[in-house]
Structures are given as C-alpha cells and as structure tokens.
Amino acid sequence: YNHFPRDLKWKTTDVTFRILNYTPDLKKADVDRAVRNAFNVWSRVTPLKFKKLYEGNADIMISFGAREHGDFNPFDGPEGLLAHAYPPGNGIGGDTHFDEDETWTKDFHAFNLFLVAAHEFGHALGMAHSSDPGSLMYPVYTYGKGYPLAEDDIKGIQSLYGENPNHGKVNPKPDAPSKCDPELSFDAVTELRGETIIFKDRFYWRLHAQMPEPEQNLIKNTWPEIPNKVDAAYENPEKDFVIIFSGIKMWALNGYNLVDGYPKYIHKLGLPKTVRKIDAAVNIRDTGKTLLFVDEEYWSYDEQTGTMDSGYPRSIEENFPGIGDEVDAAAYHYGYLYFYHDHLQFEYSFASRKVMRIMRANSILGC
Amino acid sequence: KPISSEEKDDVLLAERYLRRYYGMPAGLQGERKTSDVMSKKIREMQEFFKLEVTGKLDDDTLEIMEMARCGVPDVAE
C-alpha cells in the first residue's frame, strides 16, 4: 500500500459527506446505498464514522460530472478514466468525482458504482494507489464480489487511523500470492502456445521465454467470464485450445480468447455426474490422451475420438507410484509428467514409471 | 521506416497516460530528450505494475494503459 506524501489524513474520526447530484443511470436509492456501503467498507476496519449531510459543506463532497466538471481535471468520455478523488484536506480535499459519461451499475456490468466509490473513498481518506493487483487500491478497475478490501488495504488504512475497537476480524480478500513463499501450492498449470500459465487463487502467473520474470495478473482482468477459482487446465496443442475447469463447468481458450459455445458441463466429456470438480488435467502429447485427476483417481480422455477410455477411473497412487494419492496440478514436457501437490513438485518419468526428482512447486517460478 | 498510424496512436495514448498518471512534463524540446523522458516514465509505470521493465511500449504495457482505471496519479506529486 501507499499513502500520499506527508501521510495526509483527516484529523478527526468523524468525517462528513454530501452527495451533490445523482447519476441518471441508477435510482437515487441505489446511489445512496452504494455510497453508504462504500463508506462502510472502510469504517468496518477503522474507528472512522461517516455522517451524511444534506446541505452545506461536507468533508467529502460527492458529485457526478462529465469532461471538464469544475476542478480543471477533466474526464475523458466513456471508459478510460472512471473517477477521481482528492486526498484529505480543506476545500477540494476529500472530494470525489465520478465520470457521468460512464454507465454506472449495481451489478457486474461495467462499472459497479459501489466498487469504484469504495476505491475513491480510499483516496479521500488518504490511501494512494497500491501496486498489489489484489488490493482495492490497485488503480485498474476489476469487478469482484464480497468484501472488497485486501489485507494490503487494511494494513494501509489502519496505519493511518488505527483499528476499529468495536469490530472483530474481517475476512479480507487474500493478497496476491507471493511466488517465492516456500509453502506455495498451485491450483492449475497449463501451457498456452509456448507460454506456461499457473493459476493460484484469483491470480495467474504467465511465464514466457522472453520475459525474465513471471508476470502476475488477476484472472478477471484477462478473462472476466472465467470464475475467480480455476481447478484445472490443460492445452491440446494439436487442436490449439486450452481447456479451463472450474467446478462442473469448463471454458475453452484459443490463444487468449474465449471460444464461443462455452462454458460447457464437464460431464459432456463422459465423466459421471458424481464428479463435481477436476483437481488436475494434463494432455500427453505423445499419446493424444488427456488425464483428468479427481480426488484419488484419474480418468483418460481420448482427444481424437472425444470419448473416455474404458477401464477408468484408476488409482493415482497405484499407477503413479511415489507421488501420493492426490494432485493439485499437472503438466507434461518431453516424456516427463510434472505433478504438483501442496508445496511439492514431482518429476515423473512416463517411460520408466517412477519419480525422478522432487522439487519445490515454485521452482518453476524461478524460486 | 515511417511510423505507422497505429504506432502513432499508441505513442499518443502513452503520452497522455504518462502525463496524467506519471507526471511526464508536457512540451519537451527535441526528439531525443522526449524519448529519453518517455522511456524513463514507461519504466516507472512498468515497475509499478510489475511488468517486464523495458522502457518500451510493448503489448503488455499498452494493454494496461488501455484499461479502465482511476484518475488519481499512481506516483504522487
């Protein structure tokens, strides 16, 4: 997290606000609710109390305006710049402006007023932009459900105002996972046209031969349609698609683009209805088979015929000795299967049917 | 070779973005100086967003610049 220079903050914990005008995109009551809920996000973790004024000068003056709207800091029409707010101070300090050229919503359509307001009020209270992509104070808009503050935001605001004495622990959104955490485990690993994509929580890392460092992104920033939690993924390089599994649904990518006609149910692959989630998936390029790992068993799917092979499910422990009985993620390179489970990575020789090496999971991230 | 109009658009987008959010001064003199300052500001932006720091307008950098965002500068004045 970051603060503004000189750690600007309100001198009192009683902060007033006033809504000067309303957007026609929403009912007045919806705007009132979005604004109140956005303040509640911050009051939940601090001693701050927000009081609404209906006339006169409030600390935080809230308004909707388009283009040049009175502060010589013009908006830019639809999209791009959504809103801005001024750090705590007299006069314009704390004031929060929303671009009326945007479409304001109370759902997942662009742009959710509550989320943007919560971010802007962060500025109005003294928070500058954070470079943590999982935090509310990250400068780029992302839609997400639930309590929007990440641990990073909470630490930032509490270092200015302290904790809320009357409120217990909140469940913040998890921070972006740290790639060199020795306990790091993965949700899913896949190739994508020569790149490696590693899913973890709401994020993914992208490994590219021409990039010295892994790049971390929010899943929603790249694929807004895909859920925040990916269970498994694999690439079929022959057909040039990547399948992403989340719960009982699956999505297909061609390059970075989602393929029309998805999501589909995983049972379309021939899995029994009792399977509610796939733990890991990997395509064995040399055989054209895709292995699907579910709990302590795995299935084999024939990509050529589009059917499940008979004789499955089989036991993971018996058929891949040495890797344990469950896997989180799997990948295949040059005759070796790489199984990820908890913080470990097992290099398994497909030909000699044994584990050749055991490494930390995050050695793939250069740690 | 002459700069294509698409590349020109990218440079304009980047200039606007860096002026607004990274305090790149307007009205610089001389092509060389402009490009040095722009490269420095691109680096600052790439560092903030944890992109590969190249100082160049690559696809990933442009992608972030095109995203909808808050109007408050990332680097406080």
Asked if pLDDT for residue B11 goes beyond 50, the answer is: yes
pLDDT of residue B77: 47
DSSP secondary structure letters along B18-45: HHHHH-PPSS--SHHHHHHHHHHHHHHH
SS3 content of chain B, % helix, strand, coil (to 5): 55, 0, 40
Alpha-carbon gap: A89 to the closest alpha carbon of chain B (Å): 15
Higher-confidence position of A367 and A174: A367
| Mean pLDDT, chain A, integer | 93
Average pLDDT over residues A96-109: 95
Burial A55-89 (b: 16+ CB within 10 A, else e): eeebbbbbbbbeeebeeeeebeeebbbbbbbbbbb
Residues A97 and A77: their CA atoms lie apart, in Å, by: 14
Measure the CA dihedral B31/B36/B39/B40, to 10°: -150
SS3 content of chain A, % helix, strand, coil (to 5): 15, 30, 50
Of A79, A82, A128, the CB nearest to B76: A128
In degrees and rounded to multiples of 5, residue A238 shows phi and psi of: -65, -50
In degrees and rounded to multiples of 5, residue A145 shows phi and psi of: -95, 170
Average pLDDT over residues A115-129: 97
pLDDT of residue A108: 84
Residues A249 and A275: their CA atoms lie apart, in Å, by: 11
End-to-end CA distance of chain B: 37
Residue A42: helix, strand or coil by DSSP? helix
Cα dist from B40 to A147, A197, B43, B45, B54, whole Å: 37, 29, 5, 9, 10
Interchain contact, A133 vs B52, CB within 8 Å: no
Q: Which helix (H) or strand (E) holds A117?
A: helix A113-125
Interchain contact, A221 vs B67, CB within 8 Å: yes
**A190 interface with B at CB cutoff 8 Å:** no
Interchain contact, A82 vs B71, CB within 8 Å: yes
**Contact residues, chain B, for A73 at CB < 8 Å:** 71
A120 as an active site residue: the answer is yes
* CA nearest neighbour of A130 among A152, A157, A161: A152
Measure the CA dihedral A316/A318/A320/A322, to 10°: 110
pLDDT digits (tens, 9 = 90+) for A135-147: 999 999 988 878 8
Alpha-carbon gap: B72 to the closest alpha carbon of chain A (Å): 6
**A124 interface with B at CB cutoff 8 Å:** no
Residues B16 and B10: their CA atoms lie apart, in Å, by: 10
The active-site residue out of A102, A120, A191, A235 is: A120
Residues A272 and A297: their CA atoms lie apart, in Å, by: 13
Alpha-carbon gap: B36 to the closest alpha carbon of chain A (Å): 23
pLDDT of residue B5: 62
Asked if pLDDT for residue B50 goes beyond 80, the answer is: yes
Asked if pLDDT for residue B66 goes beyond 80, the answer is: yes
Of B20, B60, B74, the CB nearest to A129: B74
Residues A111 and A103: their CA atoms lie apart, in Å, by: 6
Higher-confidence position of B77 and A43: A43
DSSP secondary structure letters along A153-196: HHHHHHHHH---TT-----PBPPPPPTT-TT---SEEEEETTEE
Interchain contact, A140 vs B60, CB within 8 Å: no
Asked if pLDDT for residue A175 goes beyond 50, the answer is: yes
Residues A87 and A121: their CA atoms lie apart, in Å, by: 9
Residues A357 and A155: their CA atoms lie apart, in Å, by: 40
From chain A residues 315-334, the ones with a CB under 8 A of any chain B CB are none
pLDDT digits (tens, 9 = 90+) for A7-29: 999 999 999 999 999 999 999 99
Residues of B with CB under 8 A from a CB of A: 20-21, 48-52, 60, 64, 67-74, 76-77
pLDDT digits (tens, 9 = 90+) for A282-337: 999 989 999 999 999 999 999 999 999 999 999 999 999 999 999 999 999 988 99
**Contact residues, chain B, for A212 at CB < 8 Å:** 52
Interchain contact, A82 vs B72, CB within 8 Å: no
Give the ipTM: 0.85
Minimum Cα–Cα distance from A111: chain B residue: B68
Interchain contact, A85 vs B72, CB within 8 Å: yes
Q: How many CB atoms lie within 10 A of CB B41?
A: 22
Average pLDDT over residues B26-44: 76
Interchain contact, B71 vs A75, CB within 8 Å: yes
Question: Residue B32 — very low, low, confident or very high, per pLDDT cuts 50/70/90?
Answer: low
**A206 interface with B at CB cutoff 8 Å:** no
On the CB side of A143, how many CA atoms lie within 13 Å of its CA? Answer: 16
Average pLDDT over residues A71-76: 94
**A172 interface with B at CB cutoff 8 Å:** no
**A197 interface with B at CB cutoff 8 Å:** no
What is the distance of C-alpha B67 from the center of its chain? Answer: 13
Tokens 């790639």 appear where?
A179
Torsion over CA: A35, A37, A43, A48 (sign): positive
Alpha-carbon gap: B50 to the closest alpha carbon of chain A (Å): 7
Higher-confidence position of A160 and B7: A160
Residues 6+ apart with CB under 8 A from A133: A140, A176, A203, A216, A217, A218, A221, B50
pLDDT of residue A142: 87
Alpha helices by DSSP H, listed for A162-295, are: 219-222
